[in-house]
Amino acid sequence: MNREAKNGLSRRQFLQASSALALGGLLAACQPSGAPAGGQQTGEGEAAAPQSETNVITYWYAWGNLPPALDAIVATEEWQEHVGGAVLDHKGSTSQDALLTAIAGGTPPDAGSNYGYVNLFTRGATIDVKDMVENSTLINSEDMLEAVWNSAFWQGSMIGIPGIECFLWWGLNVNTHAAEEAGLDTTTLPKTWDEVYAWHQAMTKKDSAGNLLQFGLDPYDAMANEPDFVAASYGFTWWNEETGEFNLDNERMAEALNTLGEFIRYVGPDQFAGMRQVEGQGTWGAAYNAGVQTMIIEGYWHPGETQIQKPEIAQYNRATWAPVPADRKDANIMATGLHAVVIFKDAKNPEGAFKLGEFFQTPTALDIIFEQVGWIHAIKSWIATIDKNTYPGLDFYMDAQNQVTEWTIGRRCPIYQFVTTQYTELREQVYRDLMTPSEAAAELQKRALAEWEAQGFSS
């Protein structure tokens, strides 16, 4: 899920990019180029091949592991029939900066995924697809998980076509081989932060010189990186969608910053930072796949992705509920929310973009993406056909649907990406003892309010 949180676009960024373009300081992203039937990824700077605009669907997305599945999808007869022979010109691992430049220059792709959906829509970069969806014979709201369907709406408008992967976001995944080597009993996995911390200590190893060899949990990696998670874990709402009010400066946030900071302090902040700089040990699951990190807070996609990428690690993967404080030990927290195909305001082929979003609802697309990437889209009739033992650890997420006690629909705040960035900066100040947890919580609230006002949402 890059999961979407790093790619939001602020009003200030739009203005800065537009100004730079006017001065000739930025180049618009390359024009859509033609591709053979079956799809093609195009690199930035490639020469554009002549092609009828209405016969090409351009699609950019931030994921790096989706391209093979898309190539398999567009090779099917069902896809060709659905789009009338149109070419899907798709480009993965496309950054926020590249997308921003294209939007500011008036040359965005037709469709996009894995960006800041609410932010893009509230900035006027993408269109309301509600009427198109209502006229579709393939998109069935009754057959989609309700929370995912609801996450596609913003103040009555529909910001995108749900698809590709939309299921359950949070679980503690554990390398049981590493746990058993550390003498831990894996018949019962930890549930509270205190229990997880004890496992973290047991599975952290250093050599005789004090160099870090292995550690338990980075409490800020992957899905734990975001404010939605820390707030849900500690039982408070950090932003009220109805009123627009922020609640980041509170005792529970300060408690969370201190408790989660202890995981980094135990390893050593500098040693931890050095570990992350080693190739193959970066954030978002890389260190888990390398066998260096032995626990990770991740979504349902983790079991499948790990099996596909590192089966030797995946065979030991087990999942359970994401951790909560001891006084909330009975809370089973879970989040879900939108991944979608959004259609850009300046799209040359909006109809083709919508057909792409429609096709992601079909069993053909769902099967290919699940098999090749490990992802699940929230189509209830199709989910019922999944073997929960396909990937090690997937069974927890499949069973968890009916055991959740507290749901979060994630990434709803229009300045979510900004708040996440500030949260990342301030929590490091805490675990390096440069700022108290209470000071960091107060500063995070202050920065969020200032940005909210700067983007014009307070008026």
pLDDT per residue over 387-419, tens digit each?
999 999 999 999 999 999 999 999 999 999 999
> Are 306 and 444 contained in the same domain?
yes
Q: Is residue 389 part of a domain?
A: no
Q: Specify whether 298 is located in the same domain as 435.
A: yes
Last residue of a domain, one of 351, 377, 403: 377
pLDDT tens-digit profile of 183-207? Answer: 999 999 999 999 999 999 999 999 9
pLDDT bracket for residue 54 (50, 70, 90) = low
Average pLDDT (87-104) is 94
In a domain, 384, yes or no: no
pLDDT of 81 > 60? The answer is yes
Helix 193-203 × helix 251-267 angle, to 10° = 10
Q: Is residue 300 one of the residues assigned to a domain?
A: yes
Task: Report pLDDT for 97.
Answer: 84
Q: Is residue 403 part of a domain?
A: no
Q: Compute the 3-state secondary structure of the chain and give helix, strand, coil in percent, each to the nearest 5.
A: 45, 15, 45
Are both 149 and 216 inside the same structural domain?
Answer: no
Name residue 251's beta-bridge partners.
Answer: none
> Does 143 have pLDDT greater than 80?
yes
Residue 45 has pLDDT above 80, yes or no: no
Return all residues near 40 (Cβ < 8 A) that are at least 6 apart: 87, 89, 90
Residue 155 lies in a domain: yes
**Which of 316, 351, 377 is where one domain is finished?**
377
Give residue 439's pLDDT band: very low, low, confident or very high (50, 70, 90).
Answer: very high
Q: What domain range includes position 443?
A: 171-334+411-454
Lowest-pLDDT range of 31-35, 111-115, 225-229 = 31-35
Residue 70's CATH number: 3.40.190.10
Please report whether residue 274 resides in a domain. yes
Q: Are residues 300 and 435 in the same domain?
A: yes
Residue 197 tokens read as 């911390």
pTM: 0.88
Q: Which helix (H) or strand (E) holds 367?
A: helix 363-372
Residue 345 and residue 177: Cα distance in Å, rounded? Answer: 50
**Looking at the structure, do residues 60 and 31 belong to the same domain, yes or no?**
yes
Q: How many domains does the chain have?
A: 2
Model confidence over 346-379: pLDDT tens digits?
A: 999 999 999 999 999 999 999 999 999 999 999 9
Burial of 311 per CB tally in 10 Å (0-12, 13-18, 19+): exposed
Helix/strand/coil for 326: helix
Three-state SS string over 57-115 comes to EEEEECCCCCHHHHHHHHCCHHHHHHHCCCEEEEECCCCHHHHHHHHHCCCCCCEEECC
- Residue 91 shares a structural domain with residue 148: yes
Q: What is the pLDDT of residues 223-276, one digit of tens each?
A: 999 999 999 999 999 999 999 999 999 999 999 999 999 999 999 999 999 999
Q: How confident is the model at residue 5 (pLDDT cuts 50, 70, 90)?
A: very low
Residues 353 and 417 in one domain: no
The answer as to whether 406 is a domain residue is: no
Task: State the pLDDT at residue 419.
Answer: 98
Q: Given a cut of 50, is residue 438 above it in pLDDT? A: yes
Question: Does residue 59 sit in the same domain as residue 119?
Answer: yes
246 in Cβ contact with 238 (< 8 Å) = yes
Q: How many CA atoms lie within 13 A of 125 on its CB side?
A: 30
Task: Supply the pLDDT for residue 206.
Answer: 95
Same structural domain, 17 and 119: yes
Shared domain for 105 and 231, answered yes or no, is no
Same domain, 56 and 104: yes
> In the predicted model, what is the mean pLDDT of the chain?
90
Statement to judge: residues 28 and 111 lie in one domain: yes
Report if residue 399 sits inside a domain: no
